[in-house]
Structure 1
Amino acid sequence: MFAEPEFWVAVAFVILMGVFAYLGVHRTVIKTLDHRSDRIKAELDDARKLKEEAAKLLAEYKARHASAEREAQDIIAGAQAEAERIASDAKTKMEDFVVRRTKTAESKIGLAETQALADVRAAAANAAVAAASTILSKSVKGDLADDLLAKGITEVREKLN
């Protein structure tokens, strides 16, 4: 047994463990392991907190994105409604403009017709007066002719105008 190398390795191991125990190496190893365990635990807690904060930020940004989308849709709908209203107003104004221009044109046409009719009547009266004066001057002579001519011209002008 004393000649076996495994026996002497076991004895050396036991002596080494005794020296370690006497020097308090086990306490140092346990403290180091405890500190390392605490540090790992703190890092895990920090990581968990960071993950929760990231999840909250993600949810907040998603909510903001959804809100911005709704606001954009509202703005687009408002702009479309405004554009339709403006188009409707423009159409109404254009129709009113066309109606006013048509009425103005019709009144101008009516005035032109009235003026043309008056011009035609005046021309007809002048022609009738000229014809009557020519006929009367050839058929009637003297003072009587002048009186009849003046009366006839006056009557024709009054009736035709």
Structure 2
Amino acid sequence: MDATFWAFVGLIIFLAIVVYMKVPGMIGKSLDSRADKIRAELEEARRLREEAQQLLAEYQRKRKEAEKEAADIVDHAKREAGLLVTEAKQKTEEYVGRRTALAEQKIGQAERDAINEVRAKAVDIAVEAARNVLARKVDGKVSADLFNASVRDLKTRLN
């Protein structure tokens, strides 16, 4: 009996013990459980991937909505600013028009006042000149009557 024979016998006994101890079943169960575990991990990874894609799509949609809202706000602000500028220009033009009209009224009043003052001075000078002329040519009583009549006549004509 040779050493190869005993090695063969040892191998047979080893294989019998392995089969008796149900090692192939344990290995199969271990492999099956490992495959189930890998399958579960793959399913979990697929589920997480789908959730991530849904979250990404939702965030992209929210980002687009936010960008659209921001653009709407900017457009609204531009329109409002344009309206404010237009309104400010209009109010400024109205203010300048009112101030111009007021200034023209004041100038007109000043002109009328100046003309009336010049007329009054002219009347006073004419009356004084008439008094002097009449005083030299006419006696006192006649001169006073003539002067008073002239003043009354001038006052009625001016009014």
Q: Which runs of 5+ in 2 are unaligned?
A: none
Corresponding position of 1:157: 155
Structure 1 stretches (4+) deviating beyond 3 angstroms? 2-5, 7-11
Alignment of 1:60-75 (within 5 A): 60-75=58-73
Q: Which amino acid aligns with 1:32?
A: S
Equivalent-residue separation in structure 2 for 1:92 and 1:142 (angstroms): 69
8 Å contact 2:131–2:143 — kept in the other structure? no
Matching of residues 1-150 of structure 1 within 5 Å:
3=2, 5=4, 8-150=6-148
Shift of 1:156: 2.8
Query: Which runs of 5 or more residues in structure 1 are unaligned?
Result: none
C-alpha distance 61-10 of structure 1, shift in aligned 2 (>3 A): farther
Q: Which amino acid aligns with 1:36?
A: R
Q: TM-score, normalised by structure 1?
A: 0.91
Percent same amino acid among aligned pairs?
A: 42
Q: Secondary structure at the match of 1:68?
A: helix
Q: How far apart are residue 13 of structure 1 and its match?
A: 2.5
**Structure with more relative contact order (C-alpha pairs < 8 Å, separation 6 or more):** 1
The 1-side partners of 2:6 and 2:93 are apart by 118
CA contact (8 A) 1:129 1:156 kept: no
Structural RMSD (CA) = 1.6
User: What is the DSSP-based 3-state SS (H/G/I as helix, E as strand, rest coil) of the residue aligned with 1:148?
Assistant: helix
One-letter amino acid of the structure 2 residue matched with residue 73 of structure 1: A
Deviations 1:24-83 (A, max 9, x none): 111111111111111111011001100110011011001100110010000000001000
What CA distance in whole angstroms lies between the structure 2 residues aligned with 1:15 and 1:47? Answer: 45
Instruction: Give the match's secondary structure for 1:124.
Output: helix
The CA distance in 1 between the partners of 2:40 and 2:21, in whole Å, is: 30
Contact 2:18 2:24 in 1 (8 A): yes
Q: Could you tell me how far apart the structure 2 residues matched to 1:94 and 1:136 are? A: 62
Instruction: Check whether the contact 2:134–2:143 (CA below 8 A) recurs between aligned residues.
Output: yes
Moved more, 26-35 or 56-65: 26-35
